[in-house]
Structure 1
Amino acid sequence: MDHLYWNLGTCAGGAVFEVGLRGSTARVCLMDDDSYQAYLDGDEYEYFGGFYDLTPVVLEVPYDDHWWLAVDSNPDNIKVTVNQVVD
């Protein structure tokens, strides 16, 4: 599966990430370890996010866990930035 991804590590619920997309629309998926593994395996998975054509995309971690961010788009046509928002 062709996608861009970031290992966000262990994050507390309420952590906020801002995702910038330039060059293409994309599906942005925030997933815990189990869901990301299911995503990689082609199995059913759950994610937070959606399909976006306007940025920045702001996603909040819903609960304490290890998190991954995946961006489904043509990696050759998109530039992505990911930043954690600090209060």
Structure 2
Amino acid sequence: MDHLWFDLGSYAGGACFEVELRGSTARVCLMDADEYQAYLDGDAYEFHGDFYDVSPVVLQVPYDDYWYLVVDSYPRRIKVSYTEIFD
């Protein structure tokens, strides 16, 4: 399965990330460790995010956990960068 992924680590609910997409549209997903494993296994999974054709994308961590940022797109055509946003 073609996707880019980034290990964000442990974050508390309310943390925000800005994701910049260049070169292609993409489905941008914020997943906890269990959901990411289900995604990799081809099982049913849930995520926070959506399909985006405009950048930047802002995603908020909904609860305390270990998080992954997953970008479903064409890995050879898209450039992705992300930063944590602080208030």
Q: TM-score range by the shorter chain?
A: over 0.9
After TM superposition, the structure 1 = structure 2 runs for residues 1-87 of structure 1, keeping only pairs within 5 Å, are 1-87=1-87
Q: Which runs of 5+ in 1 are unaligned?
A: none
| Whole-angstrom distance in 2 between the partners of 1:31 and 1:78 | 20
Which stretches of structure 1, 4 residues or more, deviate above 2 A after TM superposition? Answer: none
Query: How far has the Cα of 1:12 moved from its partner?
Result: 0.4
Amino acid of the structure 2 residue aligned with 1:59: L
Query: How far has the Cα of 1:2 moved from its partner?
Result: 1.2
| Whole-angstrom distance in 2 between the partners of 1:23 and 1:63 | 31
Task: Provide the TM-score with structure 1 as the length reference.
Answer: 0.98
The CA RMSD over aligned residues, in Å, is: 0.5
Q: Which runs of 5+ in 2 are unaligned?
A: none
The Cα offsets for residues 11-68 of structure 1, whole Å up to 9 and x where unpaired, read as 0000000000011000000000110000000100000001000010000000000000
Amino acid of the structure 1 residue aligned with 2:64: D
How many residues end up aligned between the 2 structures? 87
Task: Provide the TM-score with structure 2 as the length reference.
Answer: 0.98
Amino acid of the structure 2 residue aligned with 1:78: I
What secondary structure sits across from 1:34 in the alignment?
helix
| Whole-angstrom distance in 1 between the partners of 2:21 and 2:80 | 5
